[in-house]
């Protein structure tokens, strides 16, 4: 047996073994992708005036992460076929077939990279899967391609050179010691299977962009972690990755409910032009986003349950509400954690697909950071998960935040919960401590993590918080307690009395009561404004949503510059009473007492959600006036969203 194992390892040590040749060939593609990134930059250098040598090297390093994913997607079949643990993989004809497969698939992806050297100038983004839909109806496709080749012959030449390099430097494997006898064949196959299993594990991590449980597969928006300007993300990315990650992502299409821009803007415009008569008020702002903490869990929001006897699982939040402005009808704009930052920090809702997963994630947008920094604010964001989790770090960097604090900055793995990140109590205390070092005025936000599956609390708190009817309930109690401890510390700080606090959740979670199991109830989250030394209290019956937070905070601060936001100012009596979300293939629109479901072509549901909380009585055929009036506003919002996303008009100056 030892001699059989020796035969196997002699084979894999050989310089032309199946494993070394596979690694060399893949590394060859890495080199070509990196050279392509340099050429992409050189062909388009005028678009990136702020790129320095140091920042470009950082982008090159970051690009390897996206190259890994793109290269592995391209070469999955090749790697599987070359790593099959059987000796026939060394057959001359089999090896020739592998070479053809490798060269053809990789040359096509390299061609896509090369095409974007020029095509970028027309789109200002990496080509995505939507390109297939954009040109599917072109009758003169052959002529267009021929014209491209003639006009940009040098791009075609570069591609030919890259392809020639693939062909000339491709390595074929040779078997130095062929296994003999049944035992050697069994061991050869067994060891090959183990290495193939290792390859599968490494490949999954490479495709996802990491191995942590909490790491979401990387997307186009993750490139924001390596740049200072959203447009620079195209340097970090590569075109094959951009195409692969947008396959199946439904691109937005132009909407023409209203034929002219003037009519559209009269009904709804996302461009805000504040008319403040008083001076800007530079108060500190703290936005607290509670993981999965839906309205159902909060006693003050549910006093109608059990004839007023419902207590909920958040005694501290309930006590804070008594001194706050609470919006009775608060809704999230998405159902995933990945949706919350664009909604809360930039007033961009999730419509059709999460903003950060769309081809439009590199559009120029304004945010709390970009709007408040010119007013002298320091901006930061805190999330107790591993840095890079859910693309939050990339989004905050891309939108101009000064500082991001994650597990890396916390720097104490002893407080890791074993799954998602740092326990809420410890990270909220870290949050309070770090705020002390921030220059005032500051804008900062924190996203908690503990109220989440697998619904655990620290061992020292087992049995302390009510377990209620659902596993989620004791986690909610723990997070509420951690929030209480944060406020106890914050109240002792000199910045506390000049700080506006906003509390919301990213989305709801496990529902127990039927009203929270409806399509609308699934989006029910708290929206609470609290200022310790100024009168901003009461229970508002106005419809509120996450995208309203930015306009409302800016209004409170007497912000006096134009800005872009799909949300409204909740402090204004003239700003409407609506909320929008997208569920399945249906737009969900709340306006006043009315809930509409719109499938993109017609209204399929209309409800008075305040009296019909279980949404059992569809009024779509009974009250055409109610439907028609609200449908007009909904269509205007949809058209503004679709068309401005496509046209990259998400800033106030781009009317």
What is the share, in percent, of the chain residues with pLDDT greater than 90?
A: 62
pLDDT digits (tens, 9 = 90+) for 357-382: 888 988 999 999 999 999 999 999 99
What does each C-alpha distance from 342 to 225, 366, 496, 558 come to in angstroms? Answer: 15, 10, 26, 22
Q: Are 235 and 287 in the same domain? A: no
Q: Is residue 410 part of a domain?
A: yes
Average pLDDT, the chain: 88
pLDDT digits (tens, 9 = 90+) for 494-520: 999 999 999 999 999 889 999 999 889
- Considering only CA atoms, which of 348, 410, 359, 368 is closest in space to residue 385? 410
Containing domain of residue 632, as a range? Answer: 570-655
Contact 255, 638 (CB under 8 A): yes
Residue 234 and residue 51: Cα distance in Å, rounded? 13
Give the pLDDT confidence score for residue 186 in this predicted structure: 62
What does each C-alpha distance from 506 to 115, 344, 602 come to in angstroms? Answer: 39, 9, 29
Q: How many domains does the chain have?
A: 3
Rounded to the nearest angstrom, the gap between the alpha carbon of residue 415 and the centroid of all alpha carbons in its chain is: 26
Q: Are 199 and 302 in the same domain? A: no
Q: Are 483 and 631 in the same domain? A: no
Give the pLDDT confidence score for residue 12 in this predicted structure: 47
Does the pTM surpass 0.85? The reply is no
Averaged over 587-613, what is the pLDDT?
92
User: Which residue would you say has higher pLDDT here, 654 or 164?
Assistant: 164
Give the pLDDT confidence score for residue 82 in this predicted structure: 82
Res. 414 pLDDT band, cuts 50 70 90: very high
Residue 403 and residue 411: Cα distance in Å, rounded? 16
∠ CA(175), CA(178), CA(184), 5° rounding? 135
Averaged over 150-157, what is the pLDDT?
90
Q: Are 189 and 315 in the same domain? A: no
Residue 370 and residue 364: Cα distance in Å, rounded? 11
Give the pLDDT confidence score for residue 194 in this predicted structure: 73
What is the share, in percent, of the chain residues with pLDDT greater than 70?
A: 89
Q: Are 81 and 205 in the same domain? A: yes
Q: Are 602 and 474 in the same domain? A: no
pLDDT digits (tens, 9 = 90+) for 285-296: 999 999 999 999
∠ CA(399), CA(404), CA(409), 5° rounding? 165
Residue 654 pLDDT greater than 60, yes or no: no
Q: Which residues of 369-379 are buried (b: 16+ CB within 10 A; e: fewer)?
A: bbbbbeeebbb
As a residue count, the chain comes to 655
Q: Is residue 104 part of a domain?
A: yes
Q: Are 317 and 393 in the same domain? A: yes
pLDDT digits (tens, 9 = 90+) for 542-553: 999 999 999 999
Q: Is residue 182 part of a domain?
A: yes
Residue 331 pLDDT greater than 70, yes or no: yes
Note the maximum CA span of the chain.
Answer: 92
Domain boundary (246, 272, 290) is at 246
Q: Are 177 and 116 in the same domain? A: yes
Give the pLDDT confidence score for residue 561 in this predicted structure: 94
Residue 334 pLDDT greater than 80, yes or no: yes
| Beta partners for residue 589, in sequence order | 580, 596
Q: Are 474 and 613 in the same domain? A: no
Res. 187 pLDDT band, cuts 50 70 90: low
Residue 631 and residue 596: Cα distance in Å, rounded? 8
CATH number for the domain harbouring residue 392: 3.40.720.10
Residue 655 pLDDT greater than 70, yes or no: no
Peptide bond into 529 cis (omega under 30): no
∠ CA(611), CA(617), CA(619), 5° rounding? 100
CATH number for the domain harbouring residue 632: 3.30.1120.10
Q: Is residue 180 part of a domain?
A: yes
Q: Is residue 147 part of a domain?
A: no
* Long-range CB contacts for residues 343-346, cutoff 8 Å, separation at least 24: 343/545, 343/546, 343/547, 343/549, 344/287, 344/289, 344/445, 344/504, 344/546, 344/547, 344/549, 344/550, 345/287, 345/369, 345/381, 345/395, 345/396, 345/399, 345/445, 345/550, 346/399, 346/550, 346/565
| Beta partners for residue 341, in sequence order | none
Q: Are 61 and 184 in the same domain? A: yes
Q: Is residue 497 part of a domain?
A: no
pLDDT digits (tens, 9 = 90+) for 473-492: 999 999 999 999 999 999 99
Give the pLDDT confidence score for residue 209 in this predicted structure: 65
Q: Are 170 and 50 in the same domain? A: yes
Res. 391 pLDDT band, cuts 50 70 90: confident
Q: Are 217 and 312 in the same domain? A: no
Q: Is residue 259 part of a domain?
A: no
Q: Is residue 478 part of a domain?
A: yes
User: Which residue would you say has higher pLDDT here, 147 or 240?
Assistant: 240
């Amino acid at each position: 047996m030892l001699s059989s194992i020796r035969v196997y390892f002699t084979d894999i040590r050989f310089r032309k073994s199946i494993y070394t040749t596979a690694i060399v060939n893949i590394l060859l593609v890495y080199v070509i992708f990196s050279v392509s990134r340099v050429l992409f930059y050189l062909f388009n250098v005028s678009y990136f005036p702020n790129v320095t040598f140091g920042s470009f090297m950082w982008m090159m390093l970051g690009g390897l992460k996206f190259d890994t994913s793109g290269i592995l997607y391209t070469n999955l079949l090749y790697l599987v076929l070359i790593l099959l643990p059987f000796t026939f993989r060394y057959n001359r004809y089999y090896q020739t077939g592998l070479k053809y497969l490798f060269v053809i698939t990789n040359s096509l992806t390299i061609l896509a990279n090369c095409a974007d050297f020029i095509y970028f100038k027309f789109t200002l983004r990496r080509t995505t899967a939507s390109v297939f839909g954009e040109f599917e109806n072109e009758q003169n496709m052959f002529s267009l391609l021929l014209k491209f080749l003639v006009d940009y012959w040098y791009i075609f030449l570069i591609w030919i050179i890259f392809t020639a390099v693939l062909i000339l430097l491709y390595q074929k494997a040779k078997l130095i010691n062929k296994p003999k006898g049944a035992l050697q064949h069994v061991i050869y196959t067994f060891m090959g299977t183990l290495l193939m299993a290792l390859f599968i594990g490494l490949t999954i991590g490479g495709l996802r962009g990491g191995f942590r449980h909490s790491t979401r597969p990387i997307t186009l928006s993750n490139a924001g972690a390596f740049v200072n300007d959203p447009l620079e993300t195209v340097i970090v990315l590569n075109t094959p990755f951009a195409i692969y990650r947008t396959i199946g992502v439904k691109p937005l299409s132009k909407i023409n409910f209203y034929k002219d821009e003037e009519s559209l803007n009269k009904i709804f415009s996302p461009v805000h032009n504040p008319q403040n008569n008083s001076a800007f008020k530079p108060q500190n702002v703290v936005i607290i986003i509670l993981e999965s903490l839906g309205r159902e869990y909060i006693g003050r929001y549910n006093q109608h349950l059990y004839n007023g006897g419902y207590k909920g699982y958040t005694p501290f939040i309930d006590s804070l509400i008594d001194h706050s402005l609470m919006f009775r009808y608060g809704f999230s704009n998405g159902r995933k954690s990945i949706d919350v930052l664009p909604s809360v920090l930039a007033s961009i809702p999730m419509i059709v697909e999460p903003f950060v997963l769309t081809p439009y994630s590199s559009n120029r947008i304004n945010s709390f950071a970009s709007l408040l920094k010119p007013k002298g604010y320091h901006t930061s964001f805190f999330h107790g998960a591993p840095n890079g989790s859910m693309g939050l770090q990339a989004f905050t960097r891309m939108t101009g935040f000064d500082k991001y604090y994650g597990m890396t900055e916390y720097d104490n793995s002893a407080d890791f919960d074993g799954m998602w990140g740092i326990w809420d109590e410890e990270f909220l205390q870290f949050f309070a401590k770090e705020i002390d070092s921030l220059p005032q005025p500051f804008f900062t936000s924190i996203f908690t993590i503990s109220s989440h599956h697998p619904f655990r609390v620290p061992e020292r708190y087992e049995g302390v918080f009510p377990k209620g009817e659902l596993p989620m309930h004791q986690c909610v109690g723990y997070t509420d307690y951690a929030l209480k401890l944060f406020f106890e510390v914050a109240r002792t700080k000199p910045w506390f009395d000049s700080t506006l606090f906003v509390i919301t959740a990213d989305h709801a979670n496990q529902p127990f009561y039927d009203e929270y199991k409806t399509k609308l109830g699934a989006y029910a989250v708290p929206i609470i404004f609290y200022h310790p030394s100024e009168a901003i209290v009461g229970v508002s019956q106005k419809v509120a949503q996450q995208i309203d937070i930015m306009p409302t905070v800016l209004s409170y601060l007497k912000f006096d510059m134009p800005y872009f936001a799909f949300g409204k100012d909740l402090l204004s009596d003239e700003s409407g009473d609506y909320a929008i979300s997208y569920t399945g293939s249906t737009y969900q629109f709340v306006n006043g007492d009315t809930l509409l479901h719109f499938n993109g072509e017609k209204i399929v549901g209309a409800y008075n959600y305040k009296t019909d909380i279980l949404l059992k009585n569809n009024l779509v055929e009974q009250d055409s006036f109610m439907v028609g009036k609200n449908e007009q506003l909904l269509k205007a919002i949809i058209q503004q969203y679709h068309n401005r996303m496509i046209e990259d008009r998400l800033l106030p100056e781009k009317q």
